[in-house]
Structure 1
Amino acid sequence: MNNRRRAVGVLVVGLTALFSGCTQPITPPVISAGPLQPSPPAAGAPDGLGAQTATPSPTASPSPTTDPDSLEAAFASPETGGIGGFLKRHRDWLPATVNVGDEVLSGASSGSVDLAVRVPANTGRIYMSIACTAPASYRMEVLRDGTSLGASWADSCGYWGGLHGYTTAAFDPANPPNRLKITVDSNTKYSFVLYAVPAQP
């Protein structure tokens, strides 16, 4: 009988200790999160033919590299020619599926722009590309007297492992675009380029 009482006592003491241990506050583990990789950019506008010259891969926007003629440097350094300068030296990066002609306009800016555009005679479409120094949403559009003739937009114009461009739908060569609008946040730094695509005979 004494042995049974002693066993019950030990069991009660053990359970009391067990349950009292469960009343201690539980501290959740601290999880250190690394930098998040944004999703690849959405496709361009549906009113033209998309032209992509490299397969995208979700990588961070580049830092300037030691090679000033690299694609990464073209994205990271708009003030030194940016994507327009890179494509002047590397026309093989332009889409093979589109008959890309003369450069119409290129430059670099910070924030939105609204610029006059003069395209060569017999231009039937425009190929456009933009390169931002960091992931940022954008809209790039060519217009004729306020009417859109083609636009490209996405969640990011930062570097994604390759160059992306957009070719507008065909327009009347007698009434080509006369303005370029790029809409971005005021602190977005980027370079851009437009090329004429000759009209089909």
Structure 2
Amino acid sequence: MTSQLKDVVEMYTDGACDPNPGVGGWAAILISPKHNHQRRELSGGEPRSTNNRMELTAAIMGLKALKRPCRVRVHTDSQYLQKAFTAGWLAKWQRNGWLTAARKPVENQDLWRALLELAAIHQIEWRWVMGHASDPLNERCDELAVQARRKVASEQRRSNGEDYSTGLSHTRRPYRLR
């Protein structure tokens, strides 16, 4: 199957969480050189997450957005994500019944399993890029992930009755008629 894949997609991913664990955001940028470098930006967030969960979610959502099997070059600043595939961590975890070398359950199994299913559809090259090192697309991805995180945090504060700009509560005391 993979030898027949002609479409190549460049995918940049990033996750953000502040604090960690805390409110998280993820982003993926998909670029299709075949289609005049058409670019698609995706992002989202969760009220309770971790950096690693957001990194994995970014890769999952980017791969889910592909309409057919492709050759994909995933650019990530997450060594956790990149090395799981390139250093054989995932294969070891699966052989060990999803236990680490220390015999503890692998964290984020739900996301790793989803990512493995999607990775089986595509031919993926996992590339590590240094974060915050002037790679324009990595920087844009970081910006989108942080924006998504901030949006979720703002929505959380509003739903809790707080003014996100001042932190003051909007709950009012009942007026008494005199």
- TM-score calculated relative to the size of structure 1: 0.22
Structure with the largest fraction of helix: 2
- TM-score calculated relative to the size of structure 2: 0.24
